């Protein structure tokens, strides 16, 4: 990254990077994702990764052409940790959460296994292809390549990923009735489940288009003859 140092300094930074990812993952799992919601966490995490990839790619390009300032080199190191936080908040932790929440009960075990299989297959593919990709793109191009994928991921999240934080299984099932491209729109409405057994549902406009996770106090689930508020 343009900063001189021996093997000990490189090992120290590598160790700190691994430790920071561990801490960031804990913070994201226990606090960040529940506070902001799944959809917003994905947006923030992917955006941080996109910015990090662009900066590192541009930095390496200029560094190859000549010397760079010490502040730019230090910023590049900071951006690496910046990227680690974005990855922990978005694409590292959330696939596990979505794999356990999105699937209906009858398919949850199978769906979770399939989602995790593809998650780790893609991680393996990225790690396996990195050396040849760096060589082919003269190092800096690989980071812009990943930035492009982050941009596509933002588009995918906007159109395909609804907010499911705080929703029950029945409410999540309601979101995916119909076109997946409208799931994020239905998440802004307020689903009311008439019966858990029959699965009949209707949309209430009392929430005024707000996120249902903030309006769950209005939802009631009828079990037999008893009406129980869904908290």
Instruction: Dump pLDDT digits (tens) for 152-201.
Output: 999 998 888 888 887 777 777 777 776 666 666 666 665 444 434 344 44
The DSSP secondary-structure symbol of 103 reads S
Percent with pLDDT over 90 in the chain: 28
pLDDT band of residue 210 (cuts 50, 70, 90) is: very low
CATH assignment, 10-161: 1.20.1250.20
Domain layout of the chain by residue ranges: 10-161
Q: Determine how β-strand 190-193 pairs with β-strand 220-223.
A: unpaired
Average per-residue pLDDT for the chain: 77
Q: Which segment of 28-37, 82-91, 110-119, 199-208 scores lowest on mean pLDDT?
A: 199-208
Q: Tell me the C-alpha to C-alpha distance, in Å, between residue 219 and each of 167, 192, 202, 216.
A: 10, 6, 11, 5
Q: What's this model's pTM, rounded to 2 decimal places?
A: 0.71
21-72 pLDDT, tens per residue? 889 888 888 888 888 888 889 999 999 999 999 999 999 999 888 888 889 9
């Amino acid at each position: 990254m343009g900063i001189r140092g021996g093997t000990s300094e490189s090992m120290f930074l590598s160790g700190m990077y691994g430790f920071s990812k561990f801490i960031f993952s804990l913070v994201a799992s226990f606090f960040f994702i529940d506070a902001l919601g799944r959809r917003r966490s994905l947006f923030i995490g992917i955006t941080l990764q996109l910015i990090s990839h662009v900066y590192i790619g541009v930095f390496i390009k200029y560094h190859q052409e000549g010397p760079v300032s010490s502040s730019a080199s230090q910023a590049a190191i900071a951006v690496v940790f910046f990227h680690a936080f974005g990855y922990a908040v978005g694409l590292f932790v959330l696939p596990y959460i979505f794999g356990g929440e999105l699937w209906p009960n009858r398919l949850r075990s199978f769906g979770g296994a399939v989602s995790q299989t593809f998650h780790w297959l893609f991680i393996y593919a990225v790690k396996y292809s990195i050396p040849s990709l760096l060589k082919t793109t003269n190092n800096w191009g690989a980071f812009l390549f990943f930035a492009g994928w982050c941009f596509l991921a933002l588009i995918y999240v906007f159109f395909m990923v609804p907010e499911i934080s705080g929703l029950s299984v029945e409410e999540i099932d309601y979101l995916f009735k119909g076109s997946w491209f409208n799931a994020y729109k239905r998440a802004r409405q307020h689903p009311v489940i008439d019966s858990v057994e029959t699965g009949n549902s209707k949309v209430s406009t009392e929430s005024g288009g707000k996120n249902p996770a903030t309006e769950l106090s209005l939802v009631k689930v009828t079990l037999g003859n008893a009406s129980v508020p869904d908290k």
